[in-house]
Amino acid sequence: MDRYLFLLNIAVQSVLINKLRGILTALGVVFGVAAVIAMLAIGSGAKQFILDQMRLIGTNNIVFSHKSPEEGAGDDGEDEAASSVSGNDNQLAPWAPGMSKADVEAIRMLPSVDLVSPEVIRETKALFDGKILDMRCVGITNSFFELNQLSTYKGTIFTEEHIANALPVCVIGKNVETKLFSGKDPIGKAIKVGNNYFTIIGVLEKRVAAKETLVSLGLRDLNSDIFIPLDVSLIRFGDRSVIRGDDLGGRGRRNNGEEVEVQQIDRLVVRVEDSKYLQSTADVTARLLKRRHGDVVDFDMEIPELLLQQEQKTQDIFNLVLAVIAGISLLVGGIGIMNIMLASVYERIREIGLRRSLGATHKDIVIQFLIEAVLVSAIGGVLGVFLGIAAASIISNSAEIPTVISWWSIVLSFGVAASIGLIFGIFPAQKAARLDPIEALRTD
């Protein structure tokens, strides 16, 4: 042990005597380690961001949303369905009933479908105790809470009694409670939504999500919505699928040419039991809806999970490029250490010859130069760790890219740095140990 401590002391003194050379030698390792940490932080942050998105949208989901028949008419060459009214230049939109509760029941019959969540969305105002709030009133079933992994922190969700008797009850988001009730307990209170009064039976737990994330996924901020039973929404706010006298001016238009919304359901979210059936179920469901809607595509379909998987693949390629760059940086740093150590061997030939003549063995010389190489790379590793953490923080703040620094990335990068010194220090150390002591002492 004393012998190894003595060799360590000699190596440390050698590095301290040539501080500038040691720092310049370590620069390659510094930037390589910093690149590794920053790359892993960006990759981990992107992965966490995508996982957060997956939790928001749920897994194995297919989203169907309403669009006007004009938008869907040309999807399969159905443009010829539009015709002119005698004496009127207005074109009639292709007739389609829009999504309905009957569609929900038909989709539920598909063997691969696990859950269907219909939504009726109304933009309206909420009033309580003189305070008015612009918000959305969403008619839903209890499948909505299960699908979105929502729970109440006060009260309860809809019971069978509420649904069966179409009772005027509601569950509110956390933001609605904060803005309208100012610390009061909202449970049991009556809130006016549009022209209707609803009794609050529950308040949802706050869902934390960045506004940019919600926008990128096309999601609503559920904290600001009021939820009522689906049938209650159709009764209290009107069922748009029921044709009234003033709707008969032309299949989906009023007499004055104004468009009429006839869809009963605004949005459908279908959850598939197994992800391997996701694409096939989406295709079958889309064909089912098209057939039920008179061969008119009056809906948009999205599969968020597949979009996020594609985003993950893109991110993986980006991370691979960063890893290659970081690896090249470490390789360059290792070559730099080897070159400097070889130069050091030639500069210290007389020192090596003198030590050999005083009893230093071949092993002693090898260990001394290996310690120097590992010491230089370890110093570079430490500096690189601090630089990598700072770089990840700067990237996160300036470019608004999420970064996650984990302890294992620091351990990995530092271990690689030390290994670089060991690997690239072996050749110079062996060369120094092979020098003939007599020849070394004759060298000027």
- For the segment 351-363, the average pLDDT, to the nearest whole number, is 74
Three-state secondary structure along 146-165? HHCCCCEEEECCCCHHHHHC
Report the amino acid identity of residue 53: Q
| 73 lies in the same domain as 199 | yes
Report the amino acid identity of residue 61: N
Structurally, the chain folds into a number of domains equal to 2
**pLDDT, tens digit, for every residue of 61-84?**
888 988 876 554 444 444 433 333
Task: Name which of 207-221, 324-338, 355-369 the model is least confident about.
Answer: 207-221
Q: What is the pLDDT of residue 86?
A: 37
User: How many Cβ atoms sit within 10 Å of the Cβ of residue 80?
Assistant: 9
Q: What's the DSSP call for residue 33?
A: H
User: Is position 60 within any domain?
Assistant: no
Are 403 and 42 a contacting pair, CB within 8 Å?
yes
Which span out of 291-295, 358-362, 408-412 was modeled with the highest average pLDDT? Answer: 291-295
The per-residue DSSP string of 30-57 comes to HHHHHHHHHHHHHHHHHHHHHHHHHHHH
- For the segment 333-337, the average pLDDT, to the nearest whole number, is 76
| 380 lies in the same domain as 290 | no
Q: d(Cα 405, Cα 45) in Å, to the nearest integer?
A: 8
Which residues contact residue 276 at a Cβ distance below 8 angstroms, ignoring those fewer than 6 apart?
none
| 272 lies in the same domain as 392 | no
Nearest residue to 433 via CA among 349, 314, 336, 326 = 349
E strands in 60-112: 61-66, 84-85, 88-91
User: Is position 92 within any domain?
Assistant: yes
Q: How confident is the model at residue 92 (pLDDT cuts 50, 70, 90)?
A: low
**pLDDT, tens digit, for every residue of 175-216?**
999 999 987 899 999 999 999 999 999 999 987 655 555 555
Q: Regarding predicted confidence, which is higher, 272 or 77? A: 272
Q: What is the pLDDT of residue 78?
A: 43
User: Is position 213 within any domain?
Assistant: yes
Residue 67 backbone dihedrals phi, psi, to 5 degrees? -140, 160
What is the token pair recorded at 101?
């509760």
How far, in whole angstroms, is CA 442 from its chain's centroid?
67
Domain end, chosen from 270, 297, 324, is at 297
Q: d(Cα 219, Cα 199) in Å, to the nearest integer?
A: 26
Domain end, chosen from 265, 297, 329, is at 297
Q: What is the pLDDT of residue 408?
A: 79
Q: What is the pLDDT of residue 374?
A: 81
Q: Which domain holds residue 129?
A: 68-297
